[in-house]
Chains A and B, each alone.
Chain A
Amino acid sequence: MTMAEIEGVLREELSNIAPEMDLAALDPAADLREALDIDSMDFLNFVTAIHHRLGVEVPELDYPKLLTFAGATRYLEAKLGQRKG
């Protein structure tokens, strides 16, 4: 899976959680919780969606790595890369 495809999935799932937000304007380095006004339930739904869509089961200890869009993309690219290799 390419970086662009991962970004597409993330964008789609974030837009399910925060449909009224303009994700095109999202700063990839911003804290998603602040930028999109998402709470712990939303974040859990985000992680659940990642599990369903990409098969990556993100442990709670890794949550901090997914707090920005750029961080989440890097994290998932690494995880999906590992699985392939």
Chain B
Amino acid sequence: MVDFRMPSLGADMEAGTLVEWLVKPGAEVKRGDVIAVVETQKGAIEIEVFETGRVEEILVPLDAKVPVGTPLARIRVAGEAAVPPPAPVPTAAPTPAPAAPAPVIMAPQIAPTSPAIPSRGRRASPAARRLAQERGLDLSAIAGSGPEGAIVYADVERGAAKRPPGGAEKKRAVGLDLDAMRAAIAAAMARSKREIPHYYLEHQVDVGACESWLAQTNADRPPDNRLLFGALALKAVATAVRRFPAFNGFYREGKYEPVPDVHVGVAIAIRGGGLAAPAVHDADKLSVDELMAKLRDLVQRMRGGRIRSSEIADATVTVSSLGERGVEALYGVIYPPQVALVGFGKPVQRPWVIDGAIGPRPIVTITLAGDHRASDGHAGALFLAEIGKLLQEPDKL
């Protein structure tokens, strides 16, 4: 039997409020399932379970605020001797939605009533409910293709696509407390500037090859499948960091530890002010298309105020991109306990020398904020140069 505890979602978090249980006692859960939603300074966060087994007991009621580490539920791990079985448990295996842009984990059982959810009585994944809510769709009007007819993300997407034009005007509910988020940013960044001896490097890179490749690739694609430069940048950083482990890991308790997994935090600006950097897991192993789908999904969920616990807690390196507007370079502040942040400025047309002739080229300034406790400028320069090199051959990313 193991305890499912209130997780720590960052060095600055002390407590969280349990706002939603997605399982009941007796439910079968597997590692990675979202089983609860916790309200924190960073907004509502979906909490995943780390064990596969059965929920024996729920220990913390809704709306209770408890410190980090408090047991929230007890899980009987698969293989442990079972207690007399409770009522029959639905065994619908959690399945990823078939056509969703990113896999959506279905909670095996959905709490029947939940505040702020308009449509009751239909089985639907949390992601599907949220999407329906965001788009003002009635779940009862959507056919489910998931287990036992449950509505999954892709069903709602299809429903949204079919919605006749001129539907009711609605505003998206933003589930983020921007003041609390500001306080969280302040705490993390103050700690970073207090503890991390930053050094900075910059590198100007011709992204002409990326732009032509994107134009060519996107020409035959519907908008749903189009790519942005951000996906290439993410892939280049994730690939480069594998060769330069001094930039991928955590500085904790007086020493730096590189980690084998590459979870790239993506800085996402929140409308109205605010910033979060949820992680794209195993970014080095994903294709550019998969990364783009992840990015779209993350941005949408982040701005909708819902992200998952593992996404907020475990980025191993961060990428911050200014996009197409703004200025040419950004010098980041490292998010502790990480040790590096790669910044991308907006692309600008600049005179550039190629083969002895001057011509206009799109140039992006890429910067590195490095932690001097974990690496030196020499390694940082090689890392940044490697990112620039990778962006010269976007078709190989």
- Residue of A41, A52, A53 near B299 (CB, 8 A) is A41
Question: Within 8 Å CB of A5, what residues of B?
Answer: 165-166
Of all chain A residues, the one with the shortest Cβ separation from B271 is A20
- Residue of A9, A15, A40, A48 near B223 (CB, 8 A) is A48
- Please tell me if B226 contacts chain A, counting CB pairs below 8 Å: yes
Q: Are A51 and B272 in contact (CB under 8 A)?
A: no
The residues in B between 70 and 124 inclusive whose CB is less than 8 angstroms from any CB of A are: none
- Please tell me if B65 contacts chain A, counting CB pairs below 8 Å: no
Of all chain A residues, the one with the shortest Cβ separation from B226 is A44
Give the shortest distance, in Å, between B146 (CB) and chain A (any CB).
21
Chain B residues with a Cβ closer than 8 Å to the other chain, count: 32
Question: Within 8 Å CB of A45, what residues of B?
Answer: 296, 300
Q: Are A16 and B172 in contact (CB under 8 A)?
A: yes
Q: Are A44 and B228 in contact (CB under 8 A)?
A: yes
- Please tell me if B156 contacts chain A, counting CB pairs below 8 Å: no
Question: Within 8 Å CB of A51, what residues of B?
Answer: 222-224
Bound state CA distance, A41 and B161, in angstroms? 19
- Residue of B165, B172, B223 near A19 (CB, 8 A) is B172
- Residue of A8, A33, A41 near B228 (CB, 8 A) is A41
A-contact bits for B202-228, CB 8 A (1 contact / 0 none) = 000000000000010011001110101
Question: Within 8 Å CB of A50, what residues of B?
Answer: 223
CB contact under 8 A between A60 and B219, given known A19-B172, A19-B174: yes
Question: Within 8 Å CB of A18, what residues of B?
Answer: 271
- Please tell me if B325 contacts chain A, counting CB pairs below 8 Å: yes
Bound state CA distance, A44 and B323, in angstroms? 13
- Residue of A1, A37, A60 near B165 (CB, 8 A) is A1
CB contact under 8 A between A60 and B218, given known A5-B165, A52-B161: yes
Bound state CA distance, A12 and B163, in angstroms? 13
Question: Within 8 Å CB of B269, what residues of A?
Answer: 39
Q: Are B226 and A39 in contact (CB under 8 A)?
A: no
- Please tell me if A54 contacts chain B, counting CB pairs below 8 Å: yes
The residues in A between 27 and 78 inclusive whose CB is less than 8 angstroms from any CB of B are: 33-34, 37, 39-41, 44-45, 47-48, 50-54, 57-61
- Please tell me if B355 contacts chain A, counting CB pairs below 8 Å: no
Question: Within 8 Å CB of B134, what residues of A?
Answer: 16
The residues in B between 142 and 179 inclusive whose CB is less than 8 angstroms from any CB of A are: 160-161, 163, 165-167, 169, 171-172, 174
CB contact under 8 A between A59 and B219, given known A5-B166, A20-B271, A20-B272: yes
Q: Are A40 and B169 in contact (CB under 8 A)?
A: no
Bound state CA distance, A34 and B135, in angstroms? 24
- Residue of A8, A16, A39, A47 near B166 (CB, 8 A) is A8
Q: Are B271 and A58 in contact (CB under 8 A)?
A: no
5 tightest Cβ-Cβ pairs between the two chains A and B = A48-B223, A39-B323, A52-B161, A47-B223, A19-B172
Chain B contact residues, CB within 8 Å of chain A: 134-135, 160-161, 163, 165-167, 169, 171-172, 174, 215, 218-219, 222-224, 226, 228-230, 269, 271-272, 295-296, 299-300, 323-325
